[in-house]
């Protein structure tokens, strides 16, 4: 079987079963593991799949995988993230005390804050600290703590203890998934403790989730949308989800309709 035909059949398999392993590829196409790995590498280079340990999955599923390198996730769904970041801007006020959590969508949001007045920002994200360090309008505080290399996040007891020192007006948090009932999920136990702490101490939380993360669950439940726990997403969100989330008391925000409450 020609390589291009085999690779297309691998993608066809993924479209039906969502994941495929090296051993399955070898069995289906009667090839050796080295050839299977080479096929997956070429398909990943073309942004058609994401390799995982022992196999591959589709990009739309893998974008939430916190084991992926941060720089790789930064190149995915850029237009969706930019739309969410623009929708979040009106919820920043001059002299606000703000928490920016880790994640690629929140990073995109951070790059847009040069003209947002004088801001006091606390963050657990190394990449956001670096980005904002040159912004003269921002007083910046980094939480400190143990760095998670894939997410560039500071975590652990040092980070949590430092976070308890601050009085914050609002927080912007990227999440891995939001299901149809408004439940919020992350993929990392280390980061979950910081987010749960924020949910108890900050009056207004804005969860940022592009459309690839909606109607899904992930590993760790954080909380449910509700009053003060709002969602900023893309305009393609279904009316059914909007109705459910608003019934919980959440504000559903998109770039085309900044505030539906």
**94 three-class SS:** coil
CATH number for position 18: 1.10.10.10
Half-sphere exposure for 26 (CA within 13 Å, toward CB): 11
Q: Are residues 228 and 104 in the same domain?
A: yes
Could you tell me if 55 and 84 lie in one domain?
A: no
121 with 178, same domain: the answer is yes
Whether residues 240 and 118 share a domain: the answer is: yes
List C-alpha distances in Å: 201 to 65, 160, 178, 204. Answer: 27, 12, 21, 9
Same-domain status, 51 and 131:
no
Same domain? For 210 and 93 the reply is yes
Query: What pLDDT, on a 0 to 100 scale, did the predictor assign at position 156?
Result: 86
Nearest C-alpha neighbor of 126 from the set 140, 136, 112: 140
Q: Give the range of the structural domain holding residue 11, as residue numbers without chain letter.
A: 3-60
How far is Cα 10 from Cα 129, in angstroms, rounded to an integer?
40
Mean pLDDT by 10 residues, the chain (261 residues): 91 81 93 95 84 77 49 67 95 96 92 94 94 95 83 85 96 94 86 92 96 84 96 93 95 77 48
| Same domain assignment for residues 27 and 118 | no
For residues 127 and 19, state if they share a domain. no
Q: Which CATH number do you get for residue 128?
A: 3.40.50.1360
Quote the pLDDT of residue 71. Answer: 54
Q: Output the pLDDT for position 258.
A: 53
Structural domain includes residue 68? no
Domain boundary among 12, 30, 60: 60
The reply to whether 32 and 84 lie within a common domain is no
Please give the pLDDT value at position 76.
Answer: 64
pLDDT score, position 113: 96
Do 83 and 24 lie in one domain? The reply is: no
* 147/38 same-domain check: no
Provide the domain count of the chain: 2
Does the residue 71 lie in any domain? Answer: no
Same domain flag for 150 and 85? yes
In a domain, 51, yes or no: yes
Tell me, yes or no, whether 69 lies in a domain: no
Domain-embedded: residue 188 = yes
């Amino acid at each position: 079987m020609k390589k291009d035909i085999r690779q297309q059949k691998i993608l066809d398999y993924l479209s039906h079963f969502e994941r495929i392993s090296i051993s399955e590829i070898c069995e289906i196409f009667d090839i050796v593991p080295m050839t299977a790995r080479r096929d997956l590498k070429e398909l990943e280079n073309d942004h058609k799949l994401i390799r995982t340990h022992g196999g591959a999955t589709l990009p739309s599923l893998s974008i939430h995988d916190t084991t992926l390198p941060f720089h790789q996730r930064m190149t995915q769904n850029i237009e969706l993230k930019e739309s969410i970041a623009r929708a979040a801007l009106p919820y920043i006020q001059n002299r606000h005390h703000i928490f920016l959590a880790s994640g690629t969508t929140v990073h995109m949001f951070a790059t847009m804050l040069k003209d947002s007045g004088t801001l006091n920002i606390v963050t657990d994200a190394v990449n956001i600290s670096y980005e904002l360090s040159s912004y003269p309008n921002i007083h910046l505080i980094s939480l400190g703590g143990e760095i998670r290399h894939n997410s560039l996040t500071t975590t652990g007891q040092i980070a949590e203890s430092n976070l308890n020192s601050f009085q914050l007006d609002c927080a912007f948090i990227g999440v891995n998934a939001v299901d149809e009932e408004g439940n919020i999920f992350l993929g990392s136990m280390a980061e979950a403790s910081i987010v749960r702490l924020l949910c108890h101490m900050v009056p207004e939380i804005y969860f940022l989730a592009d459309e690839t993360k909606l109607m899904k669950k992930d590993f760790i439940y954080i909380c449910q949308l509700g009053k003060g726990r709002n969602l900023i997403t893309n305009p393609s969100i279904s009316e059914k989800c909007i109705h459910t989330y608003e019934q919980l008391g959440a504000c559903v925000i998109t770039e085309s309709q900044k505030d539906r409450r």
